[in-house]
A and B are shown apart, each in its own frame.
Chain A
């Protein structure tokens, strides 16, 4: 239902020297710098899929989503969503999509949430009975009842985001784009939101494309992930596969009484890597979860040093992305990764 072919976006930036002199000079002699935000990506997504679209800051995620929603016109390449080209048929495409930008609100600022929904009902021409049914269900799942009478500007971030999500799904769109829907939220709200997205996907078969920096979002919502870095796709495939392939790195942070004296135990040599850690009392060890057991690393460390505390870090998506990126730079692997997927 979504197909993307060789999609590119270049931003033109006016380059200017610092200071007033530079500003004046740029008035007469404009120099442009081209920023290649998205460098020719391809993918296609079927109806009902839940796809996590991840990558580091500035990787080009939001830019891609803006092109998919029709807000931005690509520099070249092609996008179709439900057979429509979004940036050519923006308004027609808008009927079938829902969007959440975590950084800013889609709702009407000054008027109570209920009124906002009522306006959306008219904008999307939702039939009354369908609207009532949807609102009833959302109110229950997202616990909106106490919020409906309050103007959006008076809501907390978490309250606002719950209302936002409901707004994005209100007209039962066939595809929903969520750009960092859980940014800045506490665990309880995140859990609620994930559950909601999942439920909508199951109930209505809504296609979900989600960007986030929280690996837990991906784990709980998505079946598939697409990793983008520096404007190119590094990986496109199932979530389980990538974890098997790249997510086996574990990191354990140890708190030592005396870090000065620390040297890596001989038994761990060659299997465990010492990561730089700024903190005065802490040492971080990284290792391959498949070949070295966490318990082994911990017991070896305990036998040699006085450990105050320890903490096993989850495999972070950033680490996986970084890993993938490094592999690509080392040459050749990139093609292999894509071929595997």
Chain B
């Protein structure tokens, strides 16, 4: 573990040097993501200018859910973005071979191969949203609450990672599972709103099948008393760990299949 932390740091240093060489690209990346996010928040704001509440949720509560999703997603985007490229950058062109002949965990290597600048825009936006929404919620913030918020956000990020890893792993058996990964990822947009506004079927799906519910709504519900999910929200970190374990086991199966087919 210590070895991998140090190794990750070495990889990250190299990436940052490259990023600083291309400062303009870095800034454009960050800004375009921020712009994109502002646009969707603006849309929510417009809706709330006409109606006071949606299904009992106020604007700032929804903003808070949104903020958790954005921050959690930024963890995924900054550190794990390379999972998207698993099929077409690693498995297809045979680049995965390169990783298999090195004395490191290949998944670690894939992940450490990239640090994504756009994710920083996402992170900034997420923090701005949280900073705007939190003072408007009637909640007393102490160290325990802040600690809990951090745990929830990390869990949210890990669930994004696990779901992407799981579907990216299909690339071991098909040409490239990118379209599937993309389709599944788009479902996470639903989870940025209170799940209670949806039909029961969708709610169940986003909780038990593709558990994006745990990336935003449930963790946020912990801090909002009237949500009725305060207790259930405590399962978020557990859900994150379970998802990671399942996704990693599936990845290992994919690797094994790769070792026997060679493609």
Contact A92 B14 (CB under 8 A): no
Q: Known A11-B262, A12-B261; judge A66-B102 contact (CB<8 A).
A: no
Q: How far is the CA of A122 from the CA of B17 in the complex (A)?
A: 17
**Residue B14 contacts which of A66, A73, A115 (CB distance < 8 angstroms)?**
A115
Q: Decide if B11 is an interface residue (CB 8 Å cutoff).
A: yes
Q: How far is the CA of A118 from the CA of B97 in the complex (A)?
A: 20
Contact A11 B97 (CB under 8 A): no
Q: How far is the CA of A99 from the CA of B98 in the complex (A)?
A: 9
Q: Decide if B18 is an interface residue (CB 8 Å cutoff).
A: yes
Q: Interface size (B, Cβ < 8 Å)?
A: 26
Q: How far is the CA of A87 from the CA of B260 in the complex (A)?
A: 10
Shortest CB distance A161–B (Å)? 15
From residue 70 to 94 of chain A, which have CB atoms closer than 8 A to chain B?
A: 70-73, 87, 90-92, 94
Shortest CB distance B142–A (Å)? 41
Q: Known A11-B262, A104-B98; judge A122-B18 contact (CB<8 A).
A: no
Q: How far is the CA of A90 from the CA of B97 in the complex (A)?
A: 12
Shortest CB distance A21–B (Å)? 19
From residue 1 to 40 of chain A, which have CB atoms closer than 8 A to chain B?
A: 11-12
Residue of A nearest to B89 (CB): A109
**Interface majority SS on A: helix, strand, loop or mixed?**
mixed
Contact A70 B100 (CB under 8 A): yes
Contact A111 B18 (CB under 8 A): yes
Contact A11 B101 (CB under 8 A): no
Q: How far is the CA of A164 from the CA of B261 in the complex (A)?
A: 26
From residue 22 to 48 of chain B, which have CB atoms closer than 8 A to chain A?
A: none
Contact with A along B130-159 (1 / 0, CB 8 A): 000000000000000000000000000000
Q: How far is the CA of A118 from the CA of B256 in the complex (A)?
A: 30
| Chain B contacts for A122, CB-based, 8 A | 6-7, 10
Q: Decide if B56 is an interface residue (CB 8 Å cutoff).
A: no
From residue 91 to 150 of chain A, which have CB atoms closer than 8 A to chain B?
A: 91-92, 94-95, 97, 99, 101, 104-106, 108, 110-111, 115, 118-119, 122-125
| Chain A contacts for B94, CB-based, 8 A | 101, 104
Shortest CB distance A85–B (Å)? 13
15 intermolecular pairs with C-beta atoms under 8 Å apart: A11-B261, A66-B97, A70-B100, A70-B101, A72-B259, A72-B262, A73-B256, A91-B103, A95-B103, A105-B98, A111-B17, A115-B14, A119-B11, A123-B7, A123-B102
Per CB-CB distance, the 4 closest pairs between chain A and chain B, nearest first, are: A94-B103, A73-B259, A122-B10, A95-B103
Binding site for A on B (CB under 8 A): 3, 6-7, 10-11, 14-15, 17-18, 93-95, 97-98, 100-105, 113, 256, 259-262
List 17 additional contacts besides A71-B100, A124-B102; criterion CB under 8 Å: A63-B262, A69-B100, A71-B97, A87-B259, A91-B102, A91-B104, A91-B105, A94-B100, A104-B93, A104-B94, A104-B95, A108-B14, A111-B17, A115-B17, A118-B10, A118-B14, A123-B7
